[in-house]
């Protein structure tokens, strides 16, 4: 896995602008893991995708994720700082890549974890309920004897047991951070969408890099390519001399 720095960082920002969080997550992974086809990346479970994005974030921007949220009780701003290593270990311990199989009401059920391809296929759903039903239908197969059918909202496959196992199987895909509001002292749980979180950091870092390139090119007449070949430490040293 390569870090998002220099030219690769600008490519990620350039190609990711205007895309949704799902597409951006796959784009970032495809850029840093060029040996893996993007269709293969789309077939990774969301938990596995998140694991790779967390590793990419740690490699590119450091070991601590820092962010903000809003208190649901008093609307105060919340701050959080989470070691990336802790989140990585949490996902690794929870992740389950193998499908779950069981018998129920005389039928065989097989349920697999949700993938990016599944979520992308349900983006045009007219309602949240319809999207959930279509997602379950993609992940669940129910067989009776030699006949196999996909689940649907009104099929015998969509039972409370199926929904319970679905939630358990995909639990590792959910990342969150527990904080206490400094204003009202209420406990809060903030959802962490690592694909969106990482993209915001990529966008911010890319704009900072472009600003450095602009200022150094203006001052010294150097090309963008030559500036991108410099290490961040050297660029920052030149920036300090300009500001001094």
Domains of the chain, by residue range, sit at: 6-94+175-208, 100-171
Question: What is residue 7's predicted lDDT score, i.e. its pLDDT?
Answer: 94
Of the candidates 234, 68, 197, the residue with the CA atom closest to the CA atom of residue 205: 197
Tokens 């961040």 -> residue: 232
Report the predicted TM-score, pTM, of the whole model to 2 decimal places: 0.88
- Spell out, as residue ranges, where the chain has pLDDT lower than 50: 152-156
Report CA Rg, the chain. Answer: 22
Instruction: Read off the pLDDT of residues 73-131 as tens digits, 9 standing for 90 and up.
Output: 999 999 999 999 999 999 999 898 889 999 988 889 999 999 999 999 999 999 988 88
Distances (CA, A) of 136 to 28, 107, 159, 188: 27, 17, 11, 29
Question: What is residue 150's predicted lDDT score, i.e. its pLDDT?
Answer: 53
User: Using CA atoms, how far apart are residues 49 and 57, in angstroms rounded to an integer?
Assistant: 12
Question: What is residue 154's predicted lDDT score, i.e. its pLDDT?
Answer: 45
């Amino acid at each position: 896995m390569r870090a998002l720095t220099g030219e690769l960082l600008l490519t990620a920002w350039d190609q990711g602008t205007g895309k949704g969080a799902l597409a951006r997550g796959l784009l970032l992974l495809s850029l840093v893991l060029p040996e893996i086809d993007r269709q293969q990346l789309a077939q990774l479970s969301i938990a596995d995708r998140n694991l790779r994005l967390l590793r990419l974030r740690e490699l590119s921007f450091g070991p601590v994720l820092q962010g903000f949220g809003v208190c649901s009780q008093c609307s105060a701003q919340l701050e959080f700082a989470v070691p990336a290593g802790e989140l990585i270990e949490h996902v690794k311990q929870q992740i389950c890549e193998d499908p779950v199989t069981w018998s129920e009401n005389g039928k065989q059920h097989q349920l697999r974890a949700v993938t990016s391809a599944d979520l992308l296929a349900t983006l045009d759903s007219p309602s949240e309920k319809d999207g959930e039903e279509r997602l379950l239908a993609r992940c669940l197969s129910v067989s009776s004897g030699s006949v196999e059918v996909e689940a649907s909202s009104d099929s015998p496959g969509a039972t409370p047991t199926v929904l319970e196992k679905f939630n358990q199987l995909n639990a590792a895909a959910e990342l969150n951070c527990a904080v206490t509001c400094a204003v009202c002292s209420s406990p809060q749980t903030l959802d962490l969408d690592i694909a969106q979180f990482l993209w915001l950091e990529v966008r911010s870092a890319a704009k900072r890099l472009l600003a450095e390139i602009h200022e150094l090119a203006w001052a010294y007449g150097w090309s963008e390519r030559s500036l991108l070949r410099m290490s961040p430490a050297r660029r920052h040293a030149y920036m300090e001399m300009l500001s001094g």
